[in-house]
Amino acid sequence: MKFAKNILCIGAGYVGGPTMAVIAAKCPGCKVTVVDVNEERIRRWNSDDLPIFEPGLLDVVRSARGRNLFFSNDVVAGIKAADIIFVSVNTPTKTFGHGAGMASDLQYWEKTAHEIVAHADRSKIIVEKSTLPVRTAEAMECILQENKKGIHFEVISNPEFLSEGSAVMNLLEPDRVLIGSRQTESGRKAAQEIAAIFAHWVAADKIITSNLWSAELSKLVANAFLAQRISSINAVSALCEKTDADVAEISFAVGSDTRIGPRFLNASVGFGGSCFKKDILNLVYICRSYDLNEVADYWQAVIKINEYQQERFVRKIIKEMFNTIVGKKIVLLGFAFKANTGDTRESPGIFVAGKLLEERAQLVISDPQALENARKDLAGLDGSVEYEPDPYRAAVDAQAIAVITEWDIYRKLDFAKIFASMRKPAFLFDGRNILDHQKLFKIGFNVFPLGKPSLTHFK
Ligand code: UDX
Ligand code: ADP
């Protein structure tokens, strides 16, 4: 079959895989190929055991795979055939050298740019999909224009705003699609070509165009704003615990102001995920590199409060369990960084588990999707850790339960049955405020919500 356009995506991860699956499903006239250097990942994308868990994704993949959606390890063939190349490789925080712990590690991204130059033999549009520091497109242009073949690459920034666990929904019904380009004739034309792809299913007023740098920076700023809301409410949760105010009531009252809005105001054990911390660190690093230290300090505080919130949660567990948890069995309910994903990157569960093990607790980790990743995250730590997907079995003989992830199934558990199987006094620390605390208290638990008065049976 002859396709109208050949679209390639380099990087078959959490962003590239779902995004391309939806583009292929919605644009049957385009051939969409996703390539990755990782053979195991590609093998799984070609099976029904996808490498990432994302509700609804398998159906979308199946609807297009083999028709106009292909997964392959052949990066070179992919580059040669493509009209449009989305670059969706990983850009983690640098762990070495200058800017370690702050700046983005751009080695995978730069390698990709060199590969494109080496193998492309005609002009193409290159789309930055990975989150990148502002003005990265300039560097990409420099590398790409260095070719001796007289071909032109137009660089576009099209940051991805999808959220894990609802990626398919976010892609099918995005709040907006942002397309940044050079404000030249060829830049605008390339932006229109990318817009035309999304126009197959996204309303025209939701497709926003901007200059390249605004598009790049918007992604960092959007994540910084979202994370800032969580750190703000988490900071308030600490104050609530001192004043008998209730953080959920405050979220509701404050979020009812239409200027503020109700979302992303749930107090938690801390935000996790591959984006928030990385992107804020990146923003901080960029600000410092322009000598904007006050601006950098402002954003850095969002991360500081997030670390404080995780530490506070652990300190509370230890304090309330009579200042020692040596040999006590504690169940972490959930390990993923949020519900509906198996992803554990930057999950507060990693920090909490590490600290509880340092205090020599016996841990049982329970999660419906994330145990495979949890094992990798906790490998090498000293101490006793068990992994048990069934929350009922996990809780037998436990002294405490700490809710780390807001999985829906945890709201529906039979806590009377769980309480009966636990050692007494039994403790419950709700790091997500998802459970019915009064009901748990009546069952017999000593309950410690976040930002709300504790409910204990101790005199
Ligand atoms: C985020 C952005 O939402 C998305 O637009 C961007 O493309 C990638 O980064 P993601 O990391 O998948 O998405 O998850 P998100 O839903 O934003 O949650 C991030 C963290 O914040 C999770 O740990 C979540 O549990 C936590 N959170 C979220 C809270 O603690 N409280 C809230 O009210 C909302
Ligand atoms: P994200 O969450 O941004 O999607 P992931 O780490 O899940 O990030 O995915 C990035 C993918 O990019 C990985 O599967 C990795 O193997 C792939 N990748 C990195 N560098 C290259 C490259 N030069 N060519 C092809 N794939 C690459």
Nearest CA to ligand 1 atom 21: 271
Q: Is the pLDDT of residue 343 over 90?
A: yes
Least confident of 106-110, 167-171, 198-202, 378-382: 106-110
Round to whole Å and give the CA distance between 211 and 215: 6
Q: What's the pLDDT at 18?
A: 97
Q: Which of 225, 250, 276 to mutate to test the pocket of ligand 1 (most atoms within 8 A of CB)?
A: 276
Q: How confident is the model at residue 224 (pLDDT cuts 50, 70, 90)?
A: very high
Q: How confident is the model at residue 252 (pLDDT cuts 50, 70, 90)?
A: very high
Ligand 2 centroid from CA 28, angstroms: 25
Give the tens place of pLDDT for each residue, 362-407: 999 999 999 999 999 999 898 899 999 999 999 999 999 999 999 9
Distances (CA, A) of 161 to 89, 167, 212, 225: 15, 9, 16, 13
Q: Average pLDDT, whole number, for the chain?
A: 95
Closest ligand by atom to 128 CA = 2
171 CB under 6 A from ligand 1?
A: no
Give the tens place of pLDDT for each residue, 125-159: 999 988 777 777 788 888 888 878 889 999 999 99
Closest to 428 in 3D by CA, of 416, 441, 417: 441
Closest ligand by atom to 78 CA = 2
Share of the chain above pLDDT 90, in %: 88
255 CB under 6 A from ligand 1?
A: no
Domains of the chain: 5-202 (3.40.50.720), 211-459 (3.40.50.720)
Q: How confident is the model at residue 174 (pLDDT cuts 50, 70, 90)?
A: very high
Round to whole Å and give the CA distance between 315 and 309: 10
Q: What's the pLDDT at 195?
A: 98
Q: Is the pLDDT of residue 103 over 90?
A: no
**Dihedral sign for Cα atoms in the order 434, 347, 226, 317:** positive
Round to whole Å and give the CA distance between 26 and 168: 12
Pocket of ligand 2 (CB under 6 A): 10-16, 35-38, 41, 75, 88-90, 108, 111-112, 130, 274
When computed from its CA atoms, the radius of gyration of the chain, rounded to whole angstroms, is: 24
Q: Is the pLDDT of residue 255 over 80?
A: yes
160 CB under 6 A from ligand 1?
A: yes
Share of the chain above pLDDT 70, in %: 100
Closest ligand by atom to 41 CA = 2
Q: What angle do CA 90, 382, 276 make, to 5 degrees?
A: 30
Nearest CA to ligand 1 atom 2: 163
Q: What's the pLDDT at 378?
A: 97
Ligand 2 centroid from CA 206, angstroms: 28
Nearest CA to ligand 2 atom 2: 14
Q: Is the pLDDT of residue 439 over 90?
A: yes
Nearest CA to ligand 1 atom 14: 163
Ligand 1 centroid from CA 163, angstroms: 7
Q: How confident is the model at residue 53 (pLDDT cuts 50, 70, 90)?
A: confident
Q: What's the pLDDT at 132?
A: 74
Catalytic residue among 9, 27, 30, 275: 275
Calculate mean pLDDT across residues 345-362.
98
Q: How confident is the model at residue 346 (pLDDT cuts 50, 70, 90)?
A: very high
**What's the N-to-C CA distance of the chain in angstroms?**
77
Q: Is the pLDDT of residue 65 over 90?
A: yes
Round to whole Å and give the CA distance between 368 and 406: 11
Nearest CA to ligand 2 atom 9: 13
Q: Is the pLDDT of residue 274 over 80?
A: yes
Calculate mean pLDDT across residues 268-275.
96
Nearest CA to ligand 2 atom 6: 90
Predicted TM-score of the model (pTM): 0.93
Q: Is the pLDDT of residue 340 over 80?
A: yes
- Token look-up 């959007």 returns 222
Q: What's the pLDDT at 143?
A: 86
Q: How confident is the model at residue 254 (pLDDT cuts 50, 70, 90)?
A: very high
Ligand 1 centroid from CA 321, angstroms: 30
Is 275 annotated in the active site? yes
Round to whole Å and give the CA distance between 174 and 334: 28
Closest ligand by atom to 431 CA = 1
Q: Is the pLDDT of residue 74 over 90?
A: yes
